[in-house]
A and B are shown apart, each in its own frame.
Chain A
Amino acid sequence: MKSTRATQEPRWVRYTLLSVGLGFLFFFLGLPLVAVFVEALAQGLPVYLEALKEPETRSAIGLTVGIALAVLPFNIVFGVAAAWAIAKFDFKGKSLLITLIDLPFAVSPVVAGLIFILLFGAQGTFGPWLAEHDLKIIFAVPGMIIATLFITFPFIARELIPLMQSQGKDEEEAAVSLGASGWQMFWRVTLPNIKWGLLYGVILSNARAMGEFGAVSVVSGHIRGETNTLPLHVEILYNEYNAIGAFAAASILALLALVTLVAKTIVEWRMKKETEMLNTVLAPEKT
């Protein structure tokens, strides 16, 4: 067929754009993704599995999962509380508050780590007091958890605020007018309505928590087997020219990224369906 629609580019333009765009994605996304697994398996599956069994790698996996789990409840409670206040009520300084929540996205992870060293480090504001009480935050797990919190806390709130704003207050008000208490309203009406958005935020913040490098690196002190998360362990192995070990550890993180992408896509699809449902519920009948 020769005829093209008025709003379509000529065929050669379309094919050029497609090849340039897909080529760019292939070299910058596809190739690196494949390379992680190819490098990890470069000397065969047994060597790969052996590398994963290394105790330090395993303790790094444990610590990474542990920190992610420790951070999660804080982020959920903060995300829901902040979104509830911001989306359902009017108050002065709301936009300032939203900007404040966005702040960690603008701060370099290295700076994020540094600020906690200045606070809790040996020469930091609370350093002497902590030393007196034999408490260790910097170069220890608590510091890594705090740094991860700083980096990851906006994800859930940012997901929930627009979602809850678009849902409005009607359903909650209906619940209250039908006699529901605050908790009944939250558990029976609000939470079911935001569950996919919440899950989406959890997926994003979890991916970042497990993958964070800069901030955690600054406060960790790189103590092998103690304060080494998986991303930090990747660095150590790589710098020791242990490519197989580094890429074996990296392959786990890459798998995690793929799982994240799949989960994210599924949840996005669910949320799209929910929005469509919401739109049909809200749309006025044609008059």
Chain B
Amino acid sequence: MAAKTHRVLPGFGLALGYTLVYLSLLILLPLGGMVLKASELGFGQIIDIALSERSLAAFRVTFGASLIAALINGFFGLIVAWILVRYPFPGKRFVDALVDLPFALPTAVAGITLATLYAGNGWLGRYIEPLGFKVAYTPWGIVVALTFITLPFVVRTLQPVIEDIETEVEEAAASLGASRWQTFVKVIFPAIFPALLTGFALAFARAVGEYGSVIFIAGNLPLISEITPLLIISKLEQYDVLGATALAVVMLGLSFILLLAVNVLQWWTANRHKNNEPLEVTAAKAGGVA
């Protein structure tokens, strides 16, 4: 290192070097290996595998159930985050800690428990099934499992944002004659919307890849309730490594797009209020463009 970049704090070279080598071995090499393996197939064949009837059905189930689960959590997560921040109630600290249960509880445990609860003779299934609505061993079971697994995301991204809302802003709205509902729609909701969207996207991304909790409750019928991760595993078990790889590469690509979307959302959330330049500067810039 040249004298000009001498740094006072020690260990930069060592720490960064270690980090890069570690990441290369654990992440880049294996992922690169997979992409290389997939390239044996060629683009056309990957598309063929991904668009085969069974794969398409699996993608549809996976993404559809994930979307519904993320929507459910978007709605209820907003309510949960709101009451956890704003309303006092007994046992609040306990409930707050419990929200992280899906992060802490192994997915297999969640899977067998939910399957037992919603089965025909389960605590919930015995009341739901007579109504003509079957949850366990249907795509709805997948939705239930994914809702459980991704429950914390929306709540946890919204909580700090709701905490940060200054009550003065709401008081100002009220003093200007807005009803509580108008205040919520016009003042509060716009402030928390990016976080809600981020939480939604995080939940969705996690749901798409989930495996452990789903397989117990899904029934796993090809074309009906088979998720893509399970299809990858069954291809692997039939020694169809290339087929599994093709599907994995497609999933990985979709995951990256989701990750990118989440990053952009988080950047937006963090930066959209940073534009606090004096009005003249903004005006000057706008004028420069116009």
Contact of B108 among A97, A99, A234 (CB under 8 A): A234
- How many interface residues does chain A have, given as a range? 35 or more
A223 within 8 A of B: no
Check: A257 CB closer than 8 A to any chain B CB: yes
On whether the beta carbons of A211 and B107 are closer than 8 Å, the reply is: yes
Which chain B residue has the least Cβ–Cβ distance from A259?
B104
Taking A81-B14, A218-B233 as known contacts, 13 extra A-B pairs with beta carbons closer than 8 A to each other, sorted by chain A number, are A6-B174, A17-B83, A25-B99, A77-B18, A104-B27, A106-B205, A108-B248, A108-B255, A111-B251, A114-B34, A150-B26, A211-B108, A212-B106
Give the Cβ gap from B285 to chain A, nearest Cβ, in Å.
25
Contact A17 B209 (CB under 8 A): no
Query: What are some 16 contacts across the A-B interface (CB < 8 A)?
Result: A6-B171, A78-B22, A81-B22, A104-B27, A110-B232, A110-B233, A114-B244, A115-B33, A118-B33, A173-B8, A213-B108, A231-B108, A235-B216, A247-B113, A256-B106, A264-B97
- Dominant SS among interface residues on chain A: helix
> Provided the pairs A99-B263, A106-B259, A247-B112 are in contact, do residues A115 and B123 lie with their beta carbons within 8 angstroms?
no
Given A10-B180, A182-B10, A234-B112, CB of A109 within 8 Å of CB of B252: no
Stretch in contact with the other chain, from B46-54, B74-82, B189-197, B272-280 = B74-82
Check if A123 is an interface residue, CB within 8 A of chain B.
yes
CB of A129 within 8 Å of the partner chain:
no
Complex Cα–Cα for A159 and B30 (A): 25
**Cα-based distance from A181 to B255 in the complex (angstroms):** 44
**Within the complex, what minimum Cβ distance (angstroms) separates A162 from chain B?**
12
Asked if A103 and B232 sit within 8 Å, CB to CB, the answer is no
Contact A31/B79 with A10-B180, A89-B9 known, Cβ cut-off 8 Å = no
CA distance A244 to B248 in the complex (A): 35
Of all chain A residues, the one with the shortest Cβ separation from B188 is A7
- Measured CA separation A234–B212 after assembly (Å): 11
A156 interface residue, CB < 8 Å from B? Answer: no
A33–B101 CB distance below 8 A? yes
- A24: B residues at CB distance < 8 A: 76, 79-80
Query: Once the chains bind, are B34 and A115 in contact (CB under 8 Å)?
Result: yes
- Contact present for B106 and A213 (CB under 8 Å): yes
- The digit string for B95-120, where 1 denotes a CB below 8 A from any CB of A, is 10111111111111110111011000
Q: Which residue of A lies closest to B244 (CB)?
A: A114
Interface of A with B (CB < 8 Å)?
6-10, 13-14, 17-18, 20-22, 24-25, 27-33, 35-36, 39, 77-78, 81-82, 84-86, 88-89, 91, 97, 99-111, 114-119, 121, 123-125, 146, 149-150, 153, 169, 172-173, 176, 181-182, 185-186, 204, 207, 210-214, 217-218, 230-232, 234-235, 238, 243, 246-247, 250, 253-254, 256-258, 260-262, 264-265
The A-B contact count (CB < 8 A) is: 275
Kindly identify, within residues 195 to 212 of chain B, every residue whose CB is under 8 Å from any CB belonging to chain A.
Answer: 205-206, 208-212
**A100 surroundings in chain B (CB, below 8 A):** 23, 27-28
Q: Bound complex: CA of A166 vs CA of B7, how far in Å?
A: 20
Q: Which of B33, B80, B170 contacts A7 (CB 8 A)?
A: B170
Which residues of A have CB within 8 Å of B22?
78, 81, 153
Shortest CB-to-CB span from A198 to chain B, Å, is 15
* Most chain A beta-carbon contacts within 10 A, residue among B33, B79, B112, B171: B112
- Max chain B Cβ within 10 angstroms of own Cβ: one of A91, A210, A257: A257
Cβ of A103: which chain B residues have Cβ within 8 Å of it?
27, 259
- Least distance between A82 CB and chain B CB atoms (Å): 4
Which residues of B have CB within 8 Å of A114? 34, 232, 236, 244-245, 248
Chain B positions within 8 Å of A97 at CB level: 19-20, 23
| Residues in A neighbouring B148, C-beta threshold 8 A | 28-29, 32
B11 proximal to A (CB < 8 A):
yes
Bound CA–CA A97/B19 (angstroms): 9
Q: Are A101 and B259 closer than 8 Å at their CB atoms?
A: no
Q: B107 near A214 (CB under 8 angstroms)?
A: yes
- Distance (whole angstroms) from the CB of A166 to the closest CB of chain B: 14
Interface contact A238-B26, CB-CB below 8 Å: no
Which 10 residue pairs across A and B have the least CB separation, nearest first?
A108-B209, A211-B106, A213-B212, A182-B10, A6-B174, A214-B211, A110-B229, A257-B104, A115-B30, A85-B15
Q: Which residue of A lies closest to B98 (CB)?
A: A29
Known: A118-B37, A238-B112. A89 touches B104 (CB 8 A): no
A121 to chain B, nearest CB (A): 8
B31 in the interface (beta carbon within 8 A): yes
Q: Are B9 and A7 in contact (CB under 8 A)?
A: no
Interface-centre pick from A33, A109, A116, A214 (highest chain B CB count, 10 A): A214
Tell me which of B9, B76, B123, B229 contacts A21 (CB under 8 A).
Answer: B76
Bound form: Cα–Cα A82–B20 in Å? 9
